[in-house]
Structure 1
Amino acid sequence: MSEPHQADLIAAAVIAVPGVAGLHAGMFGEIATYLPGRRVLGIRTHADEVTEVHVTLLYGAAVRDTAALVRDAAAGVAGGVVDVTIEDVVAAPETTAS
C-alpha cells in the first residue's frame, strides 16, 4: 500500500475538527485534489503553497472559531497559507436508541 497523499492527511486532520460535518466539493464538484484514479473532495492544493479547504459545519458550531480550528489543522499538515470556505451547515445526525 502506498503512502497517503498530503491531501489525504489534510482531509483527515480537518474532519477531526469538532463541528466539522465533512468536506464539501463545491457547487459543481470542482474543489478537489485529483490523484491517479481518485479525487480528494474539498481539498485543493496549489503550487504556490496555498491550500483551499471547503467544509460543511454542524449546526450550532461557532463559524469563525471552527474555521480557525480548520485552518490550524490544515496548516499543521500543509504549511503555507490555508483558505477556509464554509460551504454549508447541516443538522447533527439523529441517533436512534436500540
Structure 2
Amino acid sequence: MTAQERADAVAAVVRAVPGVADLHPGMFGEVGTYLPGRRVPGIRFGDDAIAVHITVREDAPVRETAAAVRAAVARDWPGVAVNVTVEDVVAHD
C-alpha cells in the first residue's frame, strides 16, 4: 500500500466513525501527511504508531468517540499503536 493509499484509507475510516466531524490539522497545522501535490490533515504516521487528530460533534460523547476512532483504525492496522487526540468540539450542523 502506498503512502497516499494508506493516508486516504485512514482518513476514510476516521471520518466514518459516528460523532467525528472531521480530521483536525492541530493547533498550528502541524499534524498531517504530506503527499505529492496535497496534504492529508490530522493524520501522521510514525515508525510504530499512527497519530489521529479529530474534531468531535457536540452531541457525541468525546471519550467514546475517541475510543471508537482508535478501535476502527486498529482493526485495519493491527499491531500499530493508534493515538487519538480530540482537538475541538463543534456544533452539529
Same fold (TM over 0.5): yes
Distance 1:34 1:78 in 2: 20
- For 1:36, the equivalent position in structure 2 comes to 36
Evaluate the alpha carbon distance shift between residue 37 and residue 57 of structure 1 in structure 2; reply closer, same or farther with a 3 A threshold. same
Equivalent pairs counted in the alignment come to 91
Task: Determine if contact 2:66/2:84 at 8 Å carries over to the other structure.
Answer: yes
> Following the alignment from structure 1 to structure 2, what is the Cα–Cα distance between the partners of residues 37 and 7?
14
- Name the amino acid aligned to 1:73: A
Match of 1:66 in 2: 65
Q: Normalising by structure 2, what TM-score?
A: 0.90
Over the matched positions of the two proteins, sequence identity in percent amounts to 55
Give the Cα separation in 2 of the matches to 1:25 and 1:42.
4
Please give the secondary structure, in 2, of the residue aligned with 1:5: helix
- Work out whether 1:82 is the aligned partner of 2:87: no
How far 1:78 sits from its partner (Å)? 2.9
Alpha-carbon RMSD across the aligned residues, in angstroms, is 1.6
Structure whose alpha-carbon radius of gyration is higher: 1
